[in-house]
Amino acid sequence: MLAADAATAAAFGFRELETTVPVAADAPSNAVAVSIGAAVGSPGVLVQCSVEEAAELALGMRGLVSYAETVSLYGTEQIFIDGDDTPWSKAFLTSAYASRGIKMRVTSGGGSEALMGGAEKCSMFYLESRCVALARAIGAQGVQNGGIDSASVAGAVPGGVRSLMAENVMVMLRNLEACTGNDALMSESDVRRTSRTHPIFIGGSDFINSGFGSIQRYDNMFGPSQWNSEDIDDFLAMQRDWGVDGGLRTANEVEVARLRRRATEAVSAVYSWLGLGDFSQEWAEQAIDAAGSKDISSGDLMLPLTAARTIMETNVTMLDVIAALAENGFDLEAQRCLDMLKARVAGDYLQTSAIFDEEMNVLSLVTDPNEYSGPGTGYQPTPARQAQIDTIRQQRSVADLLVEQKSFGNKNIFATGSAEVSYDPRDVVIGVSPATGKDIWVTLSGLSVADAITEILAGLEEEGCVGRIVRINDSLDLGMIGLTAARLSGSGVSVGLQAKGTALIHRRDLAPLANLELYSVAPTITRELYRMMGINAGRHAKGATPEPVRNPYSDEAIEARYHTKVVSLVAIERNCVTKEVPEVMELRKS
């Protein structure tokens, strides 16, 4: 599942993948699984396994991971002079990573010292300023800060969230890679957590999120992230809304399924080939389709532990993984893993803000600087990247809506000839819009247009009136549809119905925009309400003054949910408008 999730993350555009462990000894197995999955998903994806620093460095030296960032800094005097987090030990560790071509940034963040009970009566921001200065001094490529695990601590004091952003600015002022927090969940409030992210999202940074959970929040062994897989659709929509490149893209569902299958097959083959363990086909199939660990049956939790021990005891390196991939027919993935090792030898990605694109080009402060000098300057997405930003899976076009409506089309409602003025006082015309019986078959409430008409007819019949269906072809305006129908009606009263479901009762002596009753909120109109409109129209036709039926109350976000669909339905209606005279329609019972 680690491999499948890594492939999925790469498909969504993540260029760095970080994992950690609930059991420390599992780390080597996790690193191998994620590295294989990342290679399935895309070339050039960097991988880390966040564990104790010496163990993490050992994994890096074997080539099983390609970057590190959980090298912790703390700003207190006690830490500076004693223990394994002194400036000297961190400087040595930084050099060790660089000497093996492993990208490395440090982690700090306001509130971490307070969280650990050793803030020495210093302000969070002051201690963080010491950490950022130290990061520059020891030669780290960048800093992951902005609260990180202690974001909720900083966020609990006045101005605390603003202070988190100021931490990031300190990093940028020193020309270091800025990985700007939005990591651990700051608040369970969707409004507060979004307000914490949004300024950085708009302003931009090297990495907006230093820990976007591409997995389900309950599976995150760090704890839920500020943003999780449940939020990816929203994040992609935010990119599209603001025209901001947040680094992600929409992944095709079929392609994701293919990649997840490929990843599980690759990791199974490698584990079997290297004698690390064997997975059942049933377990692999569950992992392919699973959103999270709750969707798969409990496995043998000793398997990853045994695999990890074998990796360490038999000195398995990434070259062994590459050989296993190649021997089992995963040549593309083997080449991608080999290319990453070659990149480490070259060391070109040991530059500020470095990532690889999908052609293994290094994008960094050196090779791809973001020079901003006013409006229209600075980073601009390429047309291809802009198309990715603009494309989300929720998007729908008028053409999509036409196809959807067509799937409900039938021959039960059709025109039979021109409509004439009636002189029957029982006659009530139901005026329908131009797309009725042509392109629109279902109302916004999900009720078919035919069913809505049937209920109106039934209501008229209850009052002893005769309903007559007439399609008004020369206008899509509901008021004009109703008025035209009323002028054809023997009783002088009509029901006007747009195919999207909006309806009214009109009378021939009223102005076009006046009416007797109006159902303006189409998504809320039920069968019963359409029947009631028919009943009241019949009562008006007989000269009575019935109690008007009101639109039902709803706390649903009607405008947000339906207005864009309304625009599309109106566009379809407009294409059906002609100069043809009104036509009598027949509704055949199915």
299 CB neighbour count, 10 Å cutoff: 15
167 located within any domain: yes
For residue 473, the domain's CATH number is: 3.40.50.10150
Provide the 8-state DSSP code for 296. S
3-state secondary structure of 363: strand
Confidence of residue 221 (pLDDT cuts 50, 70, 90): confident
**What is the amino acid identity at position 225?**
S
367 located within any domain: yes
Alpha helices in 108-252, H assignment, sequence order: 112-115, 124-138, 151-154, 160-173, 190-203, 232-242
Mean pLDDT of 271-299: 91
Asked if 541 contacts 428 with a C-beta cutoff of 8 angstroms, the reply is yes
Give yes or no for residue 238 having a pLDDT over 80: yes
Query: Domain boundary residue among 344, 362, 389?
Result: 389
Confidence of residue 283 (pLDDT cuts 50, 70, 90): confident
**What is the amino acid identity at position 409?**
G
Asked if 61 contacts 73 with a C-beta cutoff of 8 angstroms, the reply is no
How many distinct structural domains can be found in the chain? Answer: 2
Is residue 357 domain-shared with residue 406, that is, in the same domain? no
Mean pLDDT of 67-84: 91
Alpha-carbon separation of residue 457 from 133, 344, 477, 486, 532 (angstroms): 78, 76, 22, 15, 10
What's the pLDDT at 138?
96
Confidence of residue 100 (pLDDT cuts 50, 70, 90): very high
38 located within any domain: yes
Confidence of residue 290 (pLDDT cuts 50, 70, 90): very high
**What is the amino acid identity at position 55?**
A
Which residue range is the domain that position 506 belongs to?
399-587
What's the pLDDT at 96?
94
Is residue 102 domain-shared with residue 41, that is, in the same domain? yes
Alpha-carbon separation of residue 100 from 62, 104, 176, 354, 378 (angstroms): 10, 11, 20, 16, 33
Asked if 426 contacts 541 with a C-beta cutoff of 8 angstroms, the reply is yes
Q: Enumerate residues 6+ apart whose C-beta is below 8 A from 424.
A: 466, 490, 491
Q: Per residue in 364-422, pLDDT tens? A: 999 999 888 998 888 999 999 999 999 999 999 999 999 999 999 988 999 999 999 99
Is residue 383 domain-shared with residue 496, that is, in the same domain? no
409 located within any domain: yes
Determine the length of the chain.
Answer: 590
560 sits in which H/E element: helix 558-576
For residue 312, the domain's CATH number is: 3.20.20.350
Give yes or no for residue 123 having a pLDDT over 90: yes
Q: Per residue in 481-539, pLDDT tens? A: 999 999 999 999 999 999 999 999 999 999 999 999 999 999 999 999 999 999 999 99
Of 7, 11, 68, nearest to 36 by C-alpha is: 7
Give yes or no for residue 556 having a pLDDT over 90: no
Query: Domain boundary residue among 349, 371, 389?
Result: 389
**From the CA atom positions of the chain, what is the Rg in Å?**
32
Q: Per residue in 256-275, pLDDT tens? A: 999 999 999 999 999 999 99
Distance CA 48, CA 20 (A): 8
The model's pTM: 0.91
Asked if 54 contacts 92 with a C-beta cutoff of 8 angstroms, the reply is no
Confidence of residue 242 (pLDDT cuts 50, 70, 90): very high
79 located within any domain: yes
Angle between helices 398-406 and 558-576 (to 10 degrees): 80
What's the pLDDT at 559?
82
Mean pLDDT of 148-173: 95
Could you give phi then psi for residue 330, rounded to 5 degrees? -100, 60
What's the pLDDT at 212?
96
Angle between helices 527-541 and 449-462 (to 10 degrees): 40
Mean pLDDT of 309-315: 97
Paired sense of beta strands 413-418 and 103-107, if any: unpaired
* Tokens found for residue 492: 């002088």
Mean pLDDT of 83-87: 87
* Tokens found for residue 463: 């009052």
443 located within any domain: yes
Is residue 327 domain-shared with residue 423, that is, in the same domain? no
Q: What is the 3-state secondary structure (H, E, C) of 308-330?
A: HHHHHHCCCCHHHHHHHHHHCCC
3-state secondary structure of 496: strand
Is residue 365 domain-shared with residue 445, that is, in the same domain? no
Mean pLDDT of 27-31: 97
Confidence of residue 43 (pLDDT cuts 50, 70, 90): very high
Q: What is the 3-state secondary structure (H, E, C) of 251-273?
A: CCHHHHHHHHHHHHHHHHHHHHH
Distance CA 249, CA 237 (A): 10
**What is the amino acid identity at position 491?**
S
Distance CA 314, CA 507 (A): 89
Is residue 182 domain-shared with residue 139, that is, in the same domain? yes
122 located within any domain: yes
* Tokens found for residue 78: 């006690």
Could you give phi then psi for residue 14, rounded to 5 degrees? -65, 130
Give yes or no for residue 300 having a pLDDT over 90: no
Is residue 269 domain-shared with residue 383, that is, in the same domain? yes
Query: Domain boundary residue among 389, 409, 440?
Result: 389
* Tokens found for residue 467: 């309903």
Is residue 437 domain-shared with residue 540, that is, in the same domain? yes
529 CB neighbour count, 10 Å cutoff: 21
Is residue 367 domain-shared with residue 427, that is, in the same domain? no
531 sits in which H/E element: helix 527-541
Is residue 213 domain-shared with residue 274, that is, in the same domain? yes
Residue found by looking up tokens 């492939």 in the block: 7
Of 185, 257, 195, 181, nearest to 220 by C-alpha is: 185
What's the pLDDT at 557?
74
394 located within any domain: no
Give yes or no for residue 84 having a pLDDT over 90: no
% the chain with pLDDT above 90: 90
Give yes or no for residue 5 having a pLDDT over 90: yes
What's the pLDDT at 297?
85
* Tokens found for residue 177: 């890679």
Question: Residue 49 pairs with which residues in a beta bridge?
Answer: 19
Give yes or no for residue 561 having a pLDDT over 90: no
Is residue 59 domain-shared with residue 203, that is, in the same domain? yes
Give yes or no for residue 462 having a pLDDT over 80: yes
Distance CA 117, CA 181 (A): 21
Provide the 8-state DSSP code for 26. G
Provide the 8-state DSSP code for 524. G
Is residue 94 domain-shared with residue 168, that is, in the same domain? yes
Give yes or no for residue 555 having a pLDDT over 90: no
% the chain with pLDDT above 70: 100
Of 108, 109, 171, nearest to 142 by C-alpha is: 171
What's the pLDDT at 130?
97
Give yes or no for residue 590 having a pLDDT over 90: no
CA 508 from chain centre, in angstroms, equals 51
